[in-house]
Chains A and B, each alone.
Chain A
Amino acid sequence: MVVLRRIGGALPTLFAVSLLVFLFVDLIPGDPAQILAGPTASNEEIESIRKFLGLNEPLLTRYGHFVRGIWDPAAATSFRTHRPVVVELAERLPNTLIVSIGGLAIGVLVGTLAGIVSAMRPGGAADAAITVLTLAGISMPIYWLGLLCIWLFAVNLGWLPAAGASTPLHFVLPILVIATRPAAMFSRLVAASLTEAMGKDYLDTARAKGLSETRVVLAHALRNSLIAAVSVAGVQFGGMLGGSVVTETVFGIPGVGRLLVDAVSRADYPVIQYAILMFAVFFVLINLVTDLLTQWLDPRTRDQERPA
Chain B
Amino acid sequence: MRSLRHSCTVAALVAGLSLATAQAFAQPAGVLRVAVGADPATFDPAFNDLPVGNAVDLAVLEGLYRLDLQNNAQKNLATDSSFSPDGKVFTVKIKTGRTFSNGDPLNAEAVAASFNRMLDEKTGSIYRGLYASLGTIKAVGEDTVEFHLAEPNGHILMLLANTAASIVNVKALKEMGAEYGRKPVGSGPYMVERFVGGEGFRLVPNPKYAGDYPATLKAIDFSVVPEDGSRMALMETGAADIVERVPPESIEAINALKSAKVVTPPSMFSINMEMVLRGPLADPRVRKALNLAIDRDGIAKGVLGGLGTPSVGMVGPGTQDELRKTFPLIQFDPEGAKKLLAEAGYKPGQLALSFTCPTGRYIKDVQVCQALAGSFENVGIKATPLVVDRGTWTKVVGMEPAQRTDNMGMVGRATAGMDYTLYRLFFTGVGANRTGYSNPRVDGLLKEGRATTDPARQKEIYGEIQEIVWKDQPFLFLWYQTQAIGVANRVQGFAVQPNETLVFDRVTLK
Q: Which A residues fall within an 8 A CB radius of B?
A: 28-31, 34-46, 48-49, 52-53, 77-78, 80-84, 88, 91-92, 147, 150-151, 154-155, 158, 161-166, 249-255, 258-259, 261-262, 264-265, 267
Contacts and interface: CB of A to CB of B under 8 A. Distances in A.
A202 B59 CA distance: 73
B229 interface: yes
B39 interface: yes
Shortest beta-carbon contacts, A-B, top 3: A30-B391, A254-B198, A42-B431
28 contacts: A30-B394, A31-B394, A36-B49, A37-B129, A41-B129, A42-B424, A52-B121, A52-B122, A77-B178, A78-B41, A81-B41, A82-B42, A82-B181, A83-B181, A150-B233, A163-B35, A164-B223, A250-B227, A252-B199, A252-B223, A252-B227, A253-B198, A253-B199, A254-B196, A254-B199, A254-B224, A259-B198, A264-B391
A80 B128 CA distance: 16
Contacts of B395: 29-31, 34
A93 to B, nearest CB: 11
B283 interface: no
Interface string B181-207: 110000000000000111110000000
Contacts of A80: 41-42, 47
Contacts of A147: 227, 229-230
Nearest to A30: B391
Interface string B116-128: 0000011010101
B424 A29 contact: no
A30 B412 CA distance: 17
B406 to A, nearest CB: 14
Nearest to A165: B199
Nearest to B430: A42
A252 B230 contact: yes
B199 A164 contact: yes
A163 B126 contact: no
B237 to A, nearest CB: 6
Interface in B371-411: 388-392, 394-395, 397-398, 400, 411
Nearest to B124: A52
Given A38-B126, A40-B425, A41-B129, A262 B394 contact: no
A261 B42 CA distance: 17
Given A163-B225, A252-B231, A267-B391, 13 more contacts: A34-B394, A40-B413, A44-B431, A45-B129, A46-B431, A48-B129, A80-B47, A81-B42, A84-B178, A147-B227, A250-B227, A252-B199, A255-B198
Given A92-B198, A254-B196, A154 B233 contact: yes
A163 B431 contact: no
A62 B10 CA distance: 79
A251 to B, nearest CB: 7
B233 A151 contact: yes
Contacts of B432: 40-43
A39 B397 contact: yes
A286 B237 CA distance: 39
Contacts of B126: 36-38, 41, 49
Given A150-B229, A165-B199, A39 B398 contact: yes
A249 B198 CA distance: 10
B304 to A, nearest CB: 20
A162 B129 contact: no
B390 A30 contact: yes
A29 B233 CA distance: 34
A48 B199 CA distance: 32
A191 B199 CA distance: 40
Contacts of A46: 398, 431
Nearest to B132: A45
Contact of B413 (A34, A39, A162, A259): A39
B230 A250 contact: yes
Contact of B49 (A38, A45, A92, A251): A38
